[in-house]
Structure 1
Amino acid sequence: MMSGSGVYRGAVRPSRVPFRPAALLSATLLLGAVGLLTACGDEPEGRQPQVGAPPAATPSPPTTSATPSPGPSPTGATGNGAEWPNADTTGVEPGVRLTKRTGQIFVKKSGTVIQNIDLLGDVRIEANNVTVRNVRIRNPSSGGPTYWGILQWEGYKGLVVEHVDIIGSTKEEMTKGIDNLGGMVTVRYSDISGISKKAIDTQHGLIENNYLHDPHHFPQADGEVDMIRVTGGPAKGLKLVVRNNTIINTLGGTAAMGIYSDTNNPCHDILFEHNFLGGGGYTLYAGGQDDPTYNLVIKDNVFSTKVKPGFGPAIFFNGKGRGNVWRNNKWQSGRTVPVP
């Protein structure tokens, strides 16, 4: 768990993530049945392998806004003039036809595009530059927990997730929506809900224009819930940018956005800007008040005025760290949120 300094002392990533039983169903078998042997093997030069149906005409992202419900509402947020991401502007794009699949899609071919699938299962990626687009992912409601919706395994990079729905079951735990153990990851225009611990777990990448909300309570999760979890700093040469998301944790712990310094790896090179966030205990854990964080920029965010009694919008920010900035963060009412 987290110490008073903001160091998280229990979030050591396992050297190996366990396979779910569904892993026995490889992408070769799953896709071979429909003549799409594209998750592994050779592909003619100049073409990207694809898993799923060819795309329908892709409409432009919608611009309408709605109130996330249940939970804190971004409607009427002042200070930024934003229309915040919501169920209408994220997830699978309107008009896209999805093909049903069951089991695990296990990707070993770099450059694979997984698209237009309604998946009861999960996606495990051991390849570079994979794209998951216009996919709905749900986990089975029996048979044991699911550890992720999408996993980028260690040693791999370049994952892009866009216009994806990840929906955890109320009966069986989905621990994480997107788990990044590798390098660069981009997540945009996606709707993630129903997880038990973390909607997105990564140390680096670009996370923008997403709707992360409504986790499910499971006793085994011990109340350790962050819609976005960051533990330590990014890999060398990378940074984390979290921009223009709606991030709402309707449970009482831990946070909407959790930034935690690891024991030997303080948070650094993180830009958290122009997000609407609410819920959790403290809505934002900001890296550690006494930890040597640096280049941690938190600005132009809007906090819901619905705060858990006895807690507040944010805690554990080191205002003296090199390059650390806390600027123009507002309550939904328009009042300034002071430096925590």
Structure 2
Amino acid sequence: MRRLRGPLACLALLLTAGCSGSGGPSAATHTPSTHDRPPAAETSSAAPSATASPKPSPSAPASATAGAGAKPSARPTAVAPVEADFPNARTTGPRTRLKPHATGNMSIKTDGTVIKGWDITGSLDIYANNVTIVDSRITSTNWWGVNLRPGYHGLRVLHTTITAVPGKGPDNGGVDYAVSNMGTSSIEVGWCDISVFGNALSMGQGNIHDNYVHGLVPFRNAGGEWQHTDAVISGGGNTGRLVIRHNTLLNPVDVNRGASASIGLFADTGHVSNTVIDGNLLAGGAYALYGGGEGATGITVTDNVFSTRYHGNSGVYGAVTAWNAEGSGNVWRNNRFADGTPITPEPAG
């Protein structure tokens, strides 16, 4: 399987215009996809109200490419009982009754906006600080479910279901990002039930915790290629800290239809650094984890369980690749298959 650089090349260009297959300069810290048209025009602006209330007081580096001789392993596949301890449909998503809101592709421009209890048909494009989306559901046919624009901070997406309509998205019928962080500030995504999107959680910095990412849907992108799919993806070059803790991250897509990783740390826009991957359940992809490659530093991977529910070694070609064991501050500890078998990564290269 060969991973292409294109899926991580052009999201930032959506600020002004779509990008072609050749790509172009990017203003974002992560730019995960190849697009051929700009996002939908702004249709409305949400201001604090009774229901939206004021705040209370995507070719990769060689190290990320399966070798020509790589073959799927023959480990037996199974769903182990230990997997029941991780986030699932019962522990994620909204906790309250929802009210329908056919927002369309809505821009939010008021600082401190809180959206709570909304069942949204549309997407949210955030041009404001300290916006909270909680106990809601978003069904998108846009490039994203929620997107934070550069220059803004403080976004929190909590206890929310984020999904899409397969075949109805703008990327040749596909949808790309459930939550996208185009800026340089941290965002929080917690206790969310996320499905369908190709690159579900796309960011270089943030706090991703207690989420259930599943049911990614393959599609051919606007360039006619299978869009690479990842439950979590980071394109490198991040200036902040990325924490990925206690999530269920599943990528069931066939490798011949674009499966890339459950967690993909790719050095597409710069070296990967300052990332914590702790206590997650991973399954699927060409490899379940891409570790950042030779230039990666400050990557801590601890206490993760690699499920064999889809493939014998968690990913088609193995559990992990592109791990830089010699990188400064890199730690690999107590990572194992669901049956308890320890995992030791091959060196990056």
**Shorter-chain TM-score tier:** 0.7 to 0.9
Taking the aligned partners of 1:171 and 1:14, their CA distance within structure 2 comes to 20
Taking the aligned partners of 1:208 and 1:15, their CA distance within structure 2 comes to 25
Aligned residue for 1:16, secondary structure, equals: helix
Pairwise CA distance, 1:9:
6.8
Query: What is the total number of aligned residue pairs between the two structures?
Result: 286
Pairwise CA distance, 1:98:
2.3
Task: Work out which of the residue numbers 237, 240, 243 in structure 2 matches 1:241.
Answer: 243
Equivalent position of 1:295 in the other structure: 298
On the 8 A contact 2:248/2:281 being kept in 1, the answer is yes
Equivalent position of 1:11 in the other structure: 8
Taking the aligned partners of 2:79 and 2:52, their CA distance within structure 1 comes to 35
C-alpha spacing 1:231/1:168, structure 2 compared with 1 (3 Å):
same
Equivalent position of 2:253 in the other structure: 251
Equivalent position of 1:224 in the other structure: 228
Equivalent position of 1:260 in the other structure: 266
Q: Which amino acid aligns with 1:275?
A: N
Pairwise CA distance, 1:162:
0.1
Aligned residue for 2:128, secondary structure, equals: coil
Equivalent position of 1:85 in the other structure: 87
C-alpha spacing 1:239/1:50, structure 2 compared with 1 (3 Å):
farther
Taking the aligned partners of 1:232 and 1:184, their CA distance within structure 2 comes to 14
TM-score (norm 1): 0.78
C-alpha spacing 1:300/1:158, structure 2 compared with 1 (3 Å):
same
Aligned residue for 1:313, secondary structure, equals: strand
Pairwise CA distance, 1:100:
2.7
C-alpha spacing 1:223/1:51, structure 2 compared with 1 (3 Å):
farther
C-alpha spacing 1:218/1:14, structure 2 compared with 1 (3 Å):
closer
Pairwise CA distance, 1:234:
2.2
Equivalent position of 2:279 in the other structure: 274
Taking the aligned partners of 1:134 and 1:50, their CA distance within structure 2 comes to 16
- Superposition pairs for residues 145-184 of structure 1, below 5 Å? 146-172=142-168, 173-182=174-183, 183-184=185-186
Q: Where in structure 1 are there 5+ consecutive unaligned residues? A: 28-38, 41-48, 55-71, 141-145
C-alpha spacing 1:99/1:53, structure 2 compared with 1 (3 Å):
farther
Q: Deviations over 1:232-261 (max 9, x none)?
A: 1422xx201000000000102111110011
Pairwise CA distance, 1:339:
2.1
C-alpha spacing 1:101/1:14, structure 2 compared with 1 (3 Å):
closer
Equivalent position of 2:137 in the other structure: 136
- Superposition pairs for residues 32-111 of structure 1, below 5 Å? 39-40=46-47, 49-50=48-49, 52=51, 75-77=80-82, 83-93=85-95, 95-111=96-112
Pairwise CA distance, 1:73:
7.3
On the 8 A contact 1:84/1:245 being kept in 2, the answer is yes
Q: Where in structure 2 are there 5+ consecutive unaligned residues? A: 18-37, 54-76, 169-173
Taking the aligned partners of 1:74 and 1:108, their CA distance within structure 2 comes to 44
RMSD: 2.5
C-alpha spacing 1:111/1:336, structure 2 compared with 1 (3 Å):
same
On the 8 A contact 2:52/2:113 being kept in 1, the answer is no
Equivalent position of 1:26 in the other structure: 44
Q: Deviations over 1:6-65 (max 9, x none)?
A: x957622444325544x44213xxxxxxxxxxx24xxxxxxxx347367xxxxxxxxxxx
On the 8 A contact 2:7/2:228 being kept in 1, the answer is no
Q: Percent identity?
A: 32
C-alpha spacing 1:153/1:51, structure 2 compared with 1 (3 Å):
farther
TM-score (norm 2): 0.76
On the 8 A contact 1:77/1:334 being kept in 2, the answer is no
On the 8 A contact 1:117/1:136 being kept in 2, the answer is yes
Equivalent position of 1:323 in the other structure: 329
1:198 and 2:219 are equivalent in the alignment: no
On the 8 A contact 2:275/2:300 being kept in 1, the answer is yes
C-alpha spacing 1:157/1:2, structure 2 compared with 1 (3 Å):
farther
Equivalent position of 1:123 in the other structure: 124
Taking the aligned partners of 2:114 and 2:78, their CA distance within structure 1 comes to 35
Deviates more, 1:103-112 or 1:313-322: 103-112
